[in-house]
Chains A and B, each alone.
Chain A
Amino acid sequence: MRGFLLNRLSQSLILLLIVSVIGFFVLNLLPGGPLAQFGLDPSMTQDDLDRLKEQLGLNRPLLMQYLDWAWRLLQGDWGHSFRDGAPVLAVIGRHVFATLLLMGSSTAIAIAIGTWIGIRGATHRYSLFDYMATVGAMVALSIPTFWFGLVGIYIFSLQLGWLPAGNMYTIGDGSVLNYLHHLILPSIVLSLVHVAIWSRYMRSATLDAISQDFVKTARAKGLSERRVIMKHVVGNALLPMITLAGVQLPSILTGALVTETVFTWPGMGRLFLDSLGYSDYPVVMGLLMFSAILVILGNLIADIAVALVDPRIRLG
């Protein structure tokens, strides 16, 4: 186990290095740059621009900029936003809660409902339920999320007036109920596509498990059908799903660009988009590294979880 972790750690560091190099240099290939926004401002003189450039350290060669940034990052200094001078970690911190709230709840919905639909579809294969689940998943996967979002807003906010059309809370009212009220529509819209994906995977994993010999053994022992399914089939079907959940995990914190935009949700997805628009390189790089670390952690957690659940797998 220690060997496994050390191995993983060294691999991860190399991976982060590669991500940061590619990210940094590609970002600087973009035309414009952080100072482009001042180019149209007649009150900014060339002297002002040069002074700003020096202040931000943008006058140095690219390689020096990168090494400086990376060295500070290693010491825990993620840099400061060009936009408002706030530390990058603080900027991320401001948005991560919103995303966690939205993605966490929609992922929970998706896993719960998707697992149930998948198991039921597999145990009642070719039934009406199975066909409807299949068609439903196709529809949810083929229609873009923003369309569901807009239709949801039109029906439940504009026509029925039951739910708010956007934002995380009403200004001046920060109660839990208010948050939940705002959460309902976006989390359901966002979970649609994940329910579809999750139920399809779960269905095929369950079908794989159900045709195994040990399921026949379980029936031959005289176990009830419910116990055969819950204990022998589902247990084995969930194994591959753990890995899938590990891949899914980073997105819980990195956010959903489209849904956050449609519902004006102040999450990480919108932060990324806005920061790109302002060429706020420190924040963009910060977000890049943040999600890279999450991807690594998600996979690591999934691997450890699989090893804990499946006795055949030992980490080493």
Chain B
Amino acid sequence: MVVSIQPVAPHDVALSVRDLTVNLPKGMERTYAVENISFDLKRGQILCVIGESGSGKSVTANAIMGLLSKVIRVSSGAIHLDGMNIVGMPQDKLRSLRGRVVSMIFQDPLSALNPLMTVGAQIDEVMAAHGVGTPKSRRGRAIELLTEVGLPDPELMYHQYPFRLSGGQRQRVMIAMALALEPTILIADEPTTALDVTTQAQILELIREIQRRKGMSVMFITHDFGVVAEIADSVVVMEKGHIVEQGSAQQVLKSPGHPYTRRLIAAVPHLTGEDRVPLETADKAPILKVEGLVKTYRSGSSLFSAQRVVPAVNEVSFDLAPGRTLGVVGESGSGKSSLGRLLIKLLDSDGGGILFEGRDIAKLSEAEFRPLRPRVQMIFQDPFASLNPRSTIGHILTVGPVAHGTPYAKAREEAKALLAHVGLDAGAFDRFPHEFSGGQRQRIGIARALMFKPKLLIADEAVSALDVSIQAQILRLLDQIQRETGVSMIFITHDLRVASQICDEIAVMQKGRIVERGPPSQIFLDPQSAYTRELVAAIPGEQPGTTRPVAANG
């Protein structure tokens, strides 16, 4: 056997990836998931790997964990974990490294914990799997860990099942589990993407603080340059399986070299703090006037047991002028989505009025509201789930107008024109949803809503599932459509930065109430309520004093 003389990874490198290529099975859009990538994670540093979906960042993380699925393999290159090359290492040796030398936390804390095991049992399991400690010592250690990640009442938490915990708390449990054996390296795969902005800020703070205290090395995968600006020491930018740029966080954020990096940074929505130039319309009378709207969820009611009552929307009032956009911003559970569903009468309200063009639609029955339905349309969050996979795009677009009496030939002409308008090929008409990317599907969703020539569009988290660069395109499209058609919009989102891009006015919701309403300049620069201040402060990459991402000019 030839002993290859290679520079051994220097001692200050915890993780070293050299010329790694991972192949994809045949029939995929490219033959490799990542090709010839090399990077180092220095001890005691945070390395951010950033890229959009399909860039190969998660595959890289799984390769390092030895968790690639059977059909994709490392075809060449080396991965040195703490000095050991793990490529080609037998499964049981790999297994003994997982959780002990390298551990991982995942994107969705709601599904990453076993629902049938207590928090304590799941933490205990990591230590037991590696033969560490006695049941008693492990229990003590688990409670210590729960304290360390800042969970309230660790003794009680130990015996809780995951479903009783909030998303942020579950992510803390995941972190406690990953830290149990004090691994050298922590891999965090988009650990804050599924969380609310204030929770995200807390989890980022926790990861940074633990990393400093323990001198751990962290590989942090994200698609958000705001997050990078918050925590990264160094950055690796990936595009379509290649590393296009790497360097220190300072360097990459301040003077990005590669056009893709510049594009990504430019696409990050920022708090503009500037108000949008409103569209001038002839008619100034509000198209929508909401007065004291109330929706209360009741559950568990029955003859013999008590009812649980949750006020989802509580005395909400606002009005919306033609051609304007109102942003509704809040965290999960704030009632913003319920509000959207009430306005389009997918939910029945319990009180208050919704005056649409002067007519109270809140009291209308389904049959009475039906003729008005075309005038109020909705754009949904998930472009993958909201289009029927068995219908052609043409059918999706025309079925509604035809049901409302438009002749098919006319509907088809309009559909083709609209597809071109939203930036799709007219040939899309005969194709099926699975043939399109997420951004394209959202364009189809917008075209579908526009088929009815609506007066009011309700967009519920319409860009949340999309990559930042696609997000920016969709926001521009919505803006352009509004300027052309004069449609009014209600834009529901959890992302303040996105709201600041497109809204004339923003309403901040908390626990079913609107706590503050005003133009973006007020919300972001001079917030009146404590809750708004908290939300604004939590936005990653926007705090004074941190490295602020700079969009390259040209």
Contacts and interface: CB of A to CB of B under 8 A. Distances in A.
B163 interface: yes
A213 B111 contact: yes
Contact of B114 (A7, A10, A214, A219): A214
Interface string B70-101: 00000000000000000000000001111110
A236 B115 contact: yes
Given A221-B126, A222-B98, A216 B305 contact: no
A273 interface: no
Contacts of A312: 115, 161, 163
Nearest to A209: B114
A6 B104 CA distance: 47
A221 B125 contact: yes
B95 A236 contact: no
Contacts of B129: 221-224, 227
Interface string A1-29: 01110110010000000000000000000
Contact of A222 (B95, B106, B112, B163): B95
A214 B112 contact: yes
A59 interface: no
Contacts of A221: 98-99, 103, 125-126, 129, 177
B113 interface: yes
A119 to B, nearest CB: 16
Contacts of A220: 65, 67, 98-99, 103-104
A207 B393 CA distance: 31
A3 B67 contact: no
A3 B305 contact: yes
A222 B126 contact: yes
A214 B115 contact: yes
B153 to A, nearest CB: 18
Contacts of A4: 304-305
Interface residues of A, number: 29
Nearest to A8: B304
Nearest to B160: A311
B95 A224 contact: yes
A227 B95 CA distance: 12
Contact of B99 (A222, A232, A239): A222
A213 B103 CA distance: 15
A216 B178 CA distance: 13
B67 A217 contact: no
Contacts of A216: 67, 106, 112
Contact of A212 (B111, B161, B305): B111
B116 interface: yes
Contacts, number: 86
B304 A6 contact: yes
Given A6-B304, A311-B161, A213 B112 contact: yes
Contacts of A224: 95, 129
Nearest to A212: B111
Contacts of B403: none
Contacts of B7: none
B161 A217 contact: no
B303 interface: yes
A195 B115 CA distance: 28
Contact of A10 (B65, B130, B303): B303
Nearest to B111: A213
A310 to B, nearest CB: 7
A237 to B, nearest CB: 11
B554 interface: no
Contacts of A223: 95, 99, 125, 129
Given A3-B304, A4-B305, A236-B116, A213 B108 contact: yes
B338 to A, nearest CB: 23
A213 B305 contact: no
B100 A311 contact: no
B152 interface: no
Interface string B293-312: 00000001011110000000
Given A219-B98, A220-B65, A220-B104, A214 B161 contact: no
Interface residues of B, number: 32
B145 interface: no
A253 B125 CA distance: 42
Contacts of B130: 222
A222 B100 CA distance: 8
B243 interface: no
A277 interface: no
B61 to A, nearest CB: 10
Nearest to B95: A222
A220 B175 CA distance: 12
Interface string A222-260: 111001000110011001000000000000000000000
Nearest to A217: B112
A3 B305 CA distance: 6
B174 interface: yes
A42 interface: no
Interface string B162-181: 01000000000010010000
Contacts of B97: 222
Contacts of B98: 219-222
A222 B163 CA distance: 24
Instruction: Among B95, B100, B300, find the residue whose CB has the most chain A CB atoms closer than 10 A.
Output: B95
Contacts of B305: 3-4, 7, 316
A3 B174 contact: no
Nearest to A220: B104
Nearest to B61: A220
B477 to A, nearest CB: 33
A74 B161 CA distance: 44
Contacts of A232: 114
A90 interface: no
Interface string B10-41: 00000000000000000000000000000000
A311 B98 CA distance: 29
A126 B303 CA distance: 50
Nearest to A219: B67
Given A3-B304, A221-B125, A222-B95, A309 B106 contact: no
Among B99, B300, B304, the most chain A Cβ lie within 10 Å of the Cβ of: B304
A214 B113 contact: yes
B116 A7 contact: no
Contacts of B100: 222
Interface string B270-313: 00000000000000000000000000000010111100000000
Contacts of A2: 304
Contact of A311 (B99, B108, B115): B115
A221 B99 CA distance: 4
A58 interface: no
A232 to B, nearest CB: 5
B302 A3 contact: yes
A216 B104 CA distance: 10
Contacts of A262: none
A304 B286 CA distance: 54
Going nearest first, the 5 A-B pairs with the smallest beta carbon separation are A222-B99, A3-B305, A222-B98, A3-B304, A311-B161
Interface of A: 2-4, 6-7, 10, 212-214, 216-224, 227, 231-232, 235-236, 239, 309-312, 316
Interface of B: 65, 67, 95-100, 103-104, 106, 108, 111-117, 125-126, 129-130, 161, 163, 174, 177, 300, 302-305
13 contacts: A2-B304, A3-B305, A4-B305, A7-B304, A7-B305, A213-B106, A220-B104, A224-B95, A224-B129, A235-B116, A239-B116, A311-B115, A311-B163
Given A7-B303, A311-B115, A316-B305, 12 more contacts: A6-B304, A212-B111, A214-B114, A217-B112, A218-B114, A220-B98, A221-B126, A222-B96, A223-B129, A235-B116, A236-B114, A312-B115
